[in-house]
Amino acid sequence: LNVADLICKKRNKGILSREEIQFLIKGYVAGEIPDYQIAALLMAIWFVGMHNTETTDLTLAMADSGERVDLSSIPGVKVDKHSTGGVGDATTLIVAPLVAACGGKVAKMSGRGLGHTGGTLDKLESIPGLSVQQSIDSFIRIVADCGLAIVGQTADLAPADRLLYALRDVTGTIDSIPLIAASIMSKKLVSGSDAIVLDVKTGNGAFMNDMDGSEKLAKTMTAIGAKAGKRTTALITDMNQPLGNAVGNALEVREAIQVLRGELSGDLKTVSLALATQMLLVSGICADEAEARQRVESALSSGEALNRLARMIRAQGGHPEVIEKTELMPRASRQIPVLAGKSGRITRLDTARIGYCALLLGAGRQKKGDSIDPAVGLWMQKRLGDEVTKGEALAVLHVNAEDHIEEAFECFQKAVNIDAGRLEARKLIYKTISG
């Protein structure tokens, strides 16, 4: 097999065989095939796409590139959740404790912020003392004891994804359906859960902007899950504005705690309850949706979900008092409102730009390895469809360092459309797709 021939085959719309895909992935992970050839292959895939069989073969080759987690020593059904990436999306911090409170076991390996989107690990690290770096043994012990644990992926799980992801990030090949599907599903297949719920984001803050692409991505991933013997359901949810009002690490943890305390309603809570409901269904813990929904709602109102989060925080070395006193988390030194330049209605929010605004303030990384500031970010005061009066606050920026404030300010202003126009009809949860 010759790498250059395989790149040409893909470029010319050929279908790569399982053997060819395995050869490419094994060779790349072993350091025998250089970045520039794999970069060319990724770009060919970006343009030409992949047949379903190729996407499945790619996923399996990536999953087989490292070890697999064995969760069989944990009693009960293990159920996982993954989002394709969004802004202001702290659902994992709400959903995992809710499902644990209903008897599911959530052994979650999460990621860091990616481009304009946030990452659960970065959010959790704003809790003083909490460590997302746990050995596999301690991960399993925490899940068995608390019903949930949220940790970083160890280097020996799906190493092909780590390498390919870093290359995609710098070669304009992130937003490709087969590449996203294989990236996410390879990690889910090795992380040991029995059932999976996927939150596929659609809209201007998602990697897939349009409904056709998002639906295709959801169908591709659920089909891969089914083929691999994992029950998989995907919800397609809206990302045409930040899901919660908070964008930034400690701010998002605070908002998630407020939802778990029963103090906040809104889109973040609605999507979280829907995801948790699907997790109880896909795992077989509940037989019908009405029962699942009722279990989830009582886990929230009884305080048991909040209690589970506190237990997980303690088990991972963090200070569980943040549950009562969110002010124990880092706070930015200054709060600067962004005011509306005119009166009217908010008819569009550029969600990726809002994510980028928080990143400029230090909530995310401009380049690989940058450190982040857990305290900074922004809090939306207005949402899509709201009427605003000139001079009213649209959002409050939470700021520490002086650099980039002007840029972040302008970035936010450019992200908001205020006019007399009509709002496009939108839903929060568009579709449920099962594999």
CA distances from 184 to 45, 63, 294, 330 (A): 17, 10, 30, 31
Min dist CB 160 to ligand URA, Å, is: 12
Q: Which stretch binds ligand URA (CB under 6 A): 16-24, 180-188, 244-252, 283-291?
A: 180-188
CA dist., res. 43 & res. 174, Å (int):
10
CB of 47 to ligand URA, least distance (A): 17
Among the listed residues 83, 126, 176, 183, the single catalytic one is 183
CB atoms within 10 A of CB 402: 8
Identify the residue whose tokens are 């390895």.
Answer: 369
Q: How far is the CB of 72 from ligand URA (least distance, A)?
A: 25
Question: In this structure, which amino acid lies at residue 402?
Answer: E
22, 110, 153, 183: which one binds ligand URA (CB under 6 A): 183
Q: Using CB under 6 A, which residues numbered 110 to 129 contact ligand URA?
A: 111
Residue 278 in contact with ligand URA, rule: CB under 6 A: no
Q: Are 372 and 389 in contact (CB under 8 A)?
A: no
Which residue in the set 6, 45, 61, 180 belongs to the binding site for ligand URA (CB under 6 A)? 180
Contacting residue, 38, 184, 280, 332, with ligand URA by CB under 6 A? 184
59, 65, 84, 241: which one binds ligand URA (CB under 6 A)? 84
Question: Contacts with ligand URA: how many residues (CB under 6 A)?
Answer: 7
Choices 177-185, 230-238, 254-262, 311-319; region in contact with ligand URA by CB under 6 A: 177-185
Pick the closer one to ligand URA by CB: 169 or 297: 169
Q: How far is the CB of 85 from ligand URA (least distance, A)?
A: 5
Is 235 an interacting residue with respect to ligand URA (CB under 6 A)? no
Site string for ligand URA, 191-230 (x = CB under 6 A): ----------------x-----------------------
Q: Which stretch binds ligand URA (CB under 6 A): 10-18, 27-35, 73-81, 178-186?
A: 178-186
> Would you call 183 a catalytic residue per the annotation?
yes
Dihedral, CA of residue 321, residue 327, residue 328 and residue 332, to nearest 10:
160
Decide: is 85 part of the binding site for ligand URA (CB under 6 A): yes
348: annotated active-site residue? no
Stretch touching ligand URA by CB under 6 A, among 4-12, 179-187, 221-229, 256-264: 179-187
Burial 84-107 (b: 16+ CB within 10 A, else e): bbbbbbbbbbbbbbbbbbbebbbb
Residue 175 C-beta: closest distance to ligand URA, Å: 9
* Alpha carbon distances (Å) from 115 to 175, 365, 392: 12, 7, 30
Burial of 47 from C-beta contacts in 10 A (0-12 / 13-18 / 19+): exposed
Query: Of 81, 82, 108, 311, which residue is the catalytic one?
Result: 82
Tell me the closest approach of the beta carbon of residue 362 to ligand URA, in angstroms: 22
Per CB under 6 A, residues contacting ligand URA are 84-85, 111, 180, 183-184, 207
For the annotated catalytic residues, the residue numbers are: 82, 161, 168, 183, 187
